[in-house]
Structure 1
Amino acid sequence: MPIRRTLLLSALLAPLFGVTHKRVKLWLRVRLGRLMFMLLRNRHRPWPARSDKVTLVFAPHQDDEALGCGGLISHRIALGEAVHIVYITDGAGSHPAHPEYTPPMISGLRADEARVAAGILGVPGSNLVFLKAPDGQLPHLDPNVRADLVTRIAACVERIAPSQVFVTSRLDGSSEHTAASALVSDALAVIRIARPRQLEYVVWSLWSPRLLRPALRIAKLVHRHTLSTEEYRLKQNAIRAYRSQIEPLAPWHYSTLPANFTRMFQDSEEFFFEF
């Protein structure tokens, strides 16, 4: 299989050329990502011809929407459609024990960045909702707290009445993203309006492309959106708006996201699963 050959080849050649372990891992991520994108392209189906007048995007954290579907968001806006974004957590857990920024300060900073990023993509501030669930605790919520959050998510869906909703993949490699997918699914099961389509986008599984394999096996449909030059530009600018995540927050000398993480989102394609 191509993935196994890639792993074996990198292990054999890296010592010969003096390549560092980190560079090998990055090379592997990029190479495996390209291989998985080839598989995704072979499985993808075109978007339905009908127009979706209202799109609702759920982001577990402030940045997931730009990383996972920033191109599609700007595309829908350019078509004259309405896009709404709901941020599920408060984002306060990204910098634990930071010496200068408290969790509430981090939460406020990320909310400000989200508004800037959304504005770049064309989503007005009036179409943003911040549910402020505790960051880092979505998989372990008290049952009563979780039930209340499901109710609040369902209320957002009923008020906005979208024809399609997007949320992080249930197989994205992040417990928070998996929990977000389950919360949205549970909310869609109890809404009192026509149930919209649920599509799932990927974030962390681009950083660890092997995680895309199980999704490919069980997904009913794989959709692809190819970004135009302008959509690509807007997406990259929206990602850069999240400076607290991709750059060190002084006095720290390292970013909260892994180095080179955003490199995995420089492709001109976005993929979405329907399960």
Structure 2
Amino acid sequence: MTMKNHLQQLQKLMPNQWLEKLQYLHSKLLWNWLLFAGSQKLGLSQKSAMVFSPHQDDETFGCGGMIAQKRALGIPVVVVFLTNGAGAEALNQDAQNHIIETRKQEAIKALEILGVAATDIHFLAKADGGLKKLENEEYQQIIKQLSAMINYYQPEEVYVPHRQDCHQDHEATFTLVKTAIKAANIQVDFYQYPVWLFWRSPLFILLKLQDIAAAYRVAIAGVQEQKNRAIASYSSQLQSLPSGFVKQFLNDHEIFFKTED
């Protein structure tokens, strides 16, 4: 049995409240270490940005402050959602459609708070939970679609979830976008943002120090309240997310990891 399987078994046996307390402590310790010792200060750049989000809320949790600061200065920011956000539960089509539309409207509202116009928001509506299971034809189609969007907008910075973010759609988004950038043949500053990384990846077990190297901290105190309001817009999601998980994003910094290759 692999270490990952051992951890999954342990999580099943541990009461939820204790598991959440442990995850919150782990996340808080990692955030504090990165903020005060393990990261470099990164000032806000004047570069245009594209944010790729697997689900409707990841962009706000991971990049909401950066987005708000850039938009306040009139810097272009485009946000692309890869999945429809329907979730993995076995629901009838009407119920799924309701969830999809609810999350879409929440995303539009959240990004309006952050300063992104509806015309700069794109919904690719791929199956939630299916980005790692794309058949070859659909895989090639999404790479072509992403590459065309990147070529059209010509962003100077691209933001994706961390490559080890402990969610299949998040990790697949990293790979898909990186492949699309290569196909588009353009040079960009490539940043990874953590969503589930600190919550689900135990340090020195699943998460290695090299996975969180090249960390940068961005101060967002001036737009912190704005970001918090945008997070609150995702009311359908906040009902099911652990409070400690949400709390880690209600602070005055964001963490990014820069990829050079």
Measured in 1, the distance between the counterparts of 2:233 and 2:179 equals: 31
- Per the TM alignment, residue 102 of structure 1 is displaced from its structure 2 partner at its CA by 2.1
Aligned to 1:104: 97
Could you tell me which of 185, 195, 199 is aligned with 1:203? Answer: 195
Instruction: Please give the secondary structure, in 2, of the residue aligned with 1:114.
Output: helix
Gap change, CA 1:117 and 1:141, over 3 Å in 2: same
Letter in 2 for 1:115: I
Measured in 2, the distance between the counterparts of 1:220 and 1:74 equals: 26
Aligned to 2:32: 38
Offset from partner CA, 1:80-137 (integer Å, 9 cap, x none): 211110001111225x234795222211111111100000111111111111111110
Contact 1:201 1:271 in 2 (8 A): yes
Contact 1:173 1:211 in 2 (8 A): no
Gap change, CA 1:39 and 1:190, over 3 Å in 2: same
Contact 2:44 2:66 in 1 (8 A): no
Offset from partner CA, 1:4-30 (integer Å, 9 cap, x none): xxxxxxxxxxxxxxxx94443333223
The count of aligned residue pairs is: 244
Measured in 2, the distance between the counterparts of 1:50 and 1:74 equals: 13
Structure with greater contact order relative to length (CA < 8 Å, sep ≥ 6):
2
Task: Say what the alpha-carbon RMSD is for the aligned residues.
Answer: 2.3
Instruction: Please give the secondary structure, in 2, of the residue aligned with 1:43.
Output: coil
Structure 1 stretch displaced more, 174-183 or 36-45:
36-45
Measured in 2, the distance between the counterparts of 1:243 and 1:128 equals: 19
In the TM superposition, 1:3-152 aligns within 5 A as 21-41=15-35, 42-47=37-42, 51-52=46-47, 54-93=48-87, 96-98=89-91, 101-152=94-145
Measured in 2, the distance between the counterparts of 1:201 and 1:158 equals: 22
In the TM superposition, 1:151-190 aligns within 5 A as 151-190=144-183
Q: Using the aligned pairs only, state the percent identity.
A: 30
Letter in 2 for 1:196: V
Letter in 2 for 1:210: P
Aligned to 2:5: none
Could you tell me which of 240, 245, 250 is aligned with 1:266? Answer: 250
Gap change, CA 1:39 and 1:49, over 3 Å in 2: same
Mark the runs of 5 or more structure 1 residues left unpaired by the alignment: 1-19, 248-254
Letter in 2 for 1:128: I
Measured in 1, the distance between the counterparts of 2:157 and 2:203 equals: 24
Offset from partner CA, 1:216-263 (integer Å, 9 cap, x none): 4145521111221x411111111111111112xxxxxxx3x3454312
Instruction: Please give the secondary structure, in 1, of the residue aligned with 2:132.
Output: helix
Mark the runs of 5 or more structure 2 residues left unpaired by the alignment: 1-13
Gap change, CA 1:268 and 1:216, over 3 Å in 2: farther
Measured in 2, the distance between the counterparts of 1:50 and 1:68 equals: 17
Measured in 1, the distance between the counterparts of 2:207 and 2:189 equals: 21
Give the TM-score taking structure 2 as reference length.
0.85
Gap change, CA 1:236 and 1:49, over 3 Å in 2: closer
Measured in 1, the distance between the counterparts of 2:51 and 2:196 equals: 17
Offset from partner CA, 1:134-158 (integer Å, 9 cap, x none): 1110011101101110111111111
Letter in 2 for 1:108: E
Structure 1 stretch displaced more, 134-143 or 207-216:
207-216
Give the TM-score taking structure 1 as reference length.
0.81
